[in-house]
Amino acid sequence: MEAAAPSREEIERGEILRRYRALLRAVKPFMKKGDKKQLRLAFDMALDAHKDMRRKSGEPYIYHPLEVARIVVEEIGLGTTSVVCALLHDVVEDTEITLEQIEKEFGNVVARIIDGLTKISGLYNKSTNTSDQAENFRKMLLTLADDVRVILIKLADRLHNMRTLDSMPKDKQLKIASETSFLFAPLAHRLGLYAVKSELEDLSLKYTDPEIYKDIARRLQETKLKRDRFIRDFIVPIRKEMEALGLPFEIKGRPKSINSIYNKMRKQGVEFDEVYDLFAIRIILESPAETEKSDCWRAYSIVTDMYQPNPNRLRDWVSTPKANGYESLHTTVMGAGGRWVEVQIRTKRMDEIAEKGLAAHWKYKESGNDNAFDAWLTRIREVLENPEPNALEFIDNFKLQLYAKDVFAFTPKGDLIKLAAGATALDFAFEIHTDIGMKCIGAKVNHKIVPLSYPLQNGDQVEILTSSIQKPKSDWLKFVTTAKAKSKIKQAIKDYRREMADTGRDIFEKKMKQWKTQITEELMNKILSQFKLQSPVDLHYLIATERIDLAQLKAFVLEPNKAAESRASSRIDEKNFGNLVRSNSSAADDLLIIDDKISKIDYTLASCCNPIPGDEIFGFVTISEGIKIHRVNCPNAVHLLSKYSYRVVKSKWTQASEVSFLAGIRITGLDDIGIISGISQVISTDLKVNMRSISVLSNDGMFEGTIMVFVNDTKHLDTLMRKLLQVKGVLKVTRFDSHPD
């Protein structure tokens, strides 16, 4: 008889059981009589309740509670009750099982914890608004911290969700990752769960800033061999002396978390190569409780005998532990090649507390001592309790010094953006996306229009207004704070300047040919001195941006010696010259938006009616695209003017400009062979108008063409239309409003 291949169900069942047994092995050291039965009961209930559910990755749902339970015991150090709760943490929320059933099977404590976990999920899924979110978070901490295991299991749940975030859709990834760095990582820190905190931060960064994350991870990988060698050499003499001490010990060299390296780079404004403490050496002593403190100091003395310590960098959390229970002795010493190395000295007990939080602490007290655990819960509650009535301030205080240098703001959709304190609306725009930063014309913070230089406050909701014609400006550099925004702006200005200078050089060379003059070094120097310029690039740039009068240049080039006396007459707007890109956006200066308060805000031209200078226009404040300029006779105008009059901004053109605007023309006529060439003759040759597109329909001897052209203003357009009407065969020429796209 042939054995059938195992089905997917059978394979999965085997895997589920394998994972369950691994969990049992991990809980074993904590198990008391009767615990095994409880665990089996919880596992069976969860398995059955989730049997038809799958995770986004396609795996059986039960993998998730099993994994959360494993984290709870192995990485946080909690016992059986918490493992039972972790196994059941999603059943009340996601399945038919009720809290009453849980209470009947597992008793009051488990039911209370599950209830807490269910309530937290509820808070999360419903809250969208910043202050709601903060207020809910505060409530969650204060009311649900009745049993701090609720929060610890929630952290394990979040950790597993972060580890498996890859299978979530992109927008969810960002939301969950932001929330993690905003709320859960500081929470883990506050509870002393350093390992969990670092991993949560690294995983958040992986999704909120994938480029930076990958870059640092790659560089860490690349420098690993070199670093390992350095650590090995550094340790050798210490190891020798420590062995002579006769105390069992372990020395590890551990790289710092990607997030903490990134924070260093940001805070100190340095590159990866310049971060000196990429790793810390950790000496872990196996020391009996009575001599812990003196043993740590003995190790300290060995280290500082070998290497010169930096007296400013000694931290003694052995004598006075941190509020969250952290105990360790830190010193920074000078290693080979003048490199500072951080050395952390602690005992095994201290190390476990540092990694897993205070929960681990109780393993070292008499086991089964409920009073001790209760005392711990009380202490955590005290830490979390805060009389501050304002939820946002509570969050700020809560985040301790760890995040004091950050500012948290939200997108209109509620996604969280973390920036360094002092960051402005423009930084925010660049943080969302480089393109959004480049096209940024203003922002609305908490629904009010603010300038780009507005410094963000915690909890601000920021909506970025953009315009397709916007270009980065050099004065932006005065009010962006992030390195990312700065370098992108500088690069864009440089690129633009180089591009314009190239164009300008072509124009200059052509003109010089026309003027029948050789470009000699001598002449160029005279020109530069005449116009007070530093280099030919400056000259080319000014020519291309039309900020130098060509007639004047011509006069000078033809008679340089004569003109030299009238130097004062050359007119270059020197003040504006520093502002290299402003001239390109001169369209903005040509539009006068009458309301003074927002006259600095840029605009976009509505594509439904393609307004051009000369048209009667009005501005309309849109929700997400800044101010849109419509023609008064735009088909949408009546609706907008009547329904949203409060969002209408009176606008008018100030003067004809050199900038071109898109307009549509419809031509009907007799389908004559010559008609198209006649039309293009007028457009391209006679009037030198740029055409963006032309499409032609022929029908029973009739011709209908739609043309999109770039014109300066209505006068320009009228001339063009008049000329087109004169083309043989053309019967009618009209302007049309709608974009053909």
Report the nearest approach of Mn ion to the CB of residue 115 (Å). 15
Q: Which is nearer to Mn ion, 157 or 602 (CB)?
A: 157
* Member of 90, 295, 351, 427 binding Mn ion (CB under 5 A): 90
Q: Tokens at residue 320, please?
A: 């006075």
Taking CB under 5 A as the binding criterion, the range among 5-13, 151-159, 226-234, 431-439 that sits at the site for Mn ion is: 151-159
State how far the Cα of 181 lies from the Cα of 184, in Å rounded to an integer. 6
CA dihedral 303, 308, 311, 313 (to 10 degrees): -60
Nearest to 648 by CA among 625, 621, 609: 621
Report the nearest approach of Mn ion to the CB of residue 49 (Å). 13
Whether 385 is catalytic: no
Position 157 contacts Mn ion (CB under 5 A): yes
Q: Which is nearer to Mn ion, 91 or 617 (CB)?
A: 91
621-650 positions binding Mn ion, by CB under 5 A: none
Taking CB under 5 A as the binding criterion, the range among 50-58, 77-85, 88-96, 600-608 that sits at the site for Mn ion is: 88-96
Nearest to 652 by CA among 635, 630, 636: 630
Report the nearest approach of Mn ion to the CB of residue 68 (Å). 6
Q: Which is nearer to Mn ion, 167 or 695 (CB)?
A: 167
Q: Which is nearer to Mn ion, 65 or 664 (CB)?
A: 65
State how far the Cα of 349 lies from the Cα of 1, in Å rounded to an integer. 58
Whether 93 is catalytic: yes
Number of chain positions touching Mn ion (CB under 5 A) = 2
The alpha carbon of 85 is separated from its chain's Cα centroid by a whole number of angstroms, namely 35
Q: What is the side-by-side strand order in the sheet with 249-255?
A: 249-255, 279-285, 340-347, 329-334, 315-316
State how far the Cα of 201 lies from the Cα of 185, in Å rounded to an integer. 6
**Residue 431 vs residues 209, 410, 411, 481, 488: alpha-carbon distances, Å:** 9, 12, 11, 11, 11
Report the nearest approach of Mn ion to the CB of residue 467 (Å). 43
Q: State the DSSP code for 415.
A: -
Pairing between strand 462-466 and 440-445?
antiparallel
Taking CB under 5 A as the binding criterion, the range among 85-93, 410-418, 588-596, 601-609 that sits at the site for Mn ion is: 85-93
Report the nearest approach of Mn ion to the CB of residue 157 (Å). 4
The alpha carbon of 720 is separated from its chain's Cα centroid by a whole number of angstroms, namely 48
CA dihedral 423, 393, 417, 64 (to 10 degrees): 150
322-351 positions binding Mn ion, by CB under 5 A: none
State how far the Cα of 519 lies from the Cα of 509, in Å rounded to an integer. 8
Taking CB under 5 A as the binding criterion, the range among 82-90, 276-284, 336-344, 617-625 that sits at the site for Mn ion is: 82-90
Report the nearest approach of Mn ion to the CB of residue 89 (Å). 6
24-43 positions binding Mn ion, by CB under 5 A: none
Position 67 contacts Mn ion (CB under 5 A): no
State how far the Cα of 582 lies from the Cα of 594, in Å rounded to an integer. 21
Query: 12, 59, 74, 94: which is the annotated catalytic residue?
Result: 94
Taking CB under 5 A as the binding criterion, the range among 30-38, 87-95, 299-307, 431-439 that sits at the site for Mn ion is: 87-95
Phi, psi of 368 (to 5 degrees): 75, 10
Query: 93, 146, 277, 616: which is the annotated catalytic residue?
Result: 93
Taking CB under 5 A as the binding criterion, the range among 150-158, 302-310, 392-400, 530-538 that sits at the site for Mn ion is: 150-158
Nearest to 496 by CA among 396, 395, 579: 579
Report the nearest approach of Mn ion to the CB of residue 95 (Å). 12
Q: Which is nearer to Mn ion, 160 or 473 (CB)?
A: 160
Q: State the DSSP code for 673.
A: T
Q: Which is nearer to Mn ion, 29 or 122 (CB)?
A: 122
Position 75 contacts Mn ion (CB under 5 A): no
Supply the Cα-derived Rg of the chain in whole angstroms: 35
Position 737 contacts Mn ion (CB under 5 A): no
Q: Which is nearer to Mn ion, 153 or 675 (CB)?
A: 153
Pairing between strand 340-347 and 279-285?
parallel
Q: Which is nearer to Mn ion, 121 or 660 (CB)?
A: 121
User: Which residue's CB atom is positioned nearest to Mn ion?
Assistant: 157
Report the nearest approach of Mn ion to the CB of residue 47 (Å). 15
Q: Which residues are catalytic?
A: 93-94
**Residue numbers of the site for Mn ion (CB under 5 A)?**
90, 157
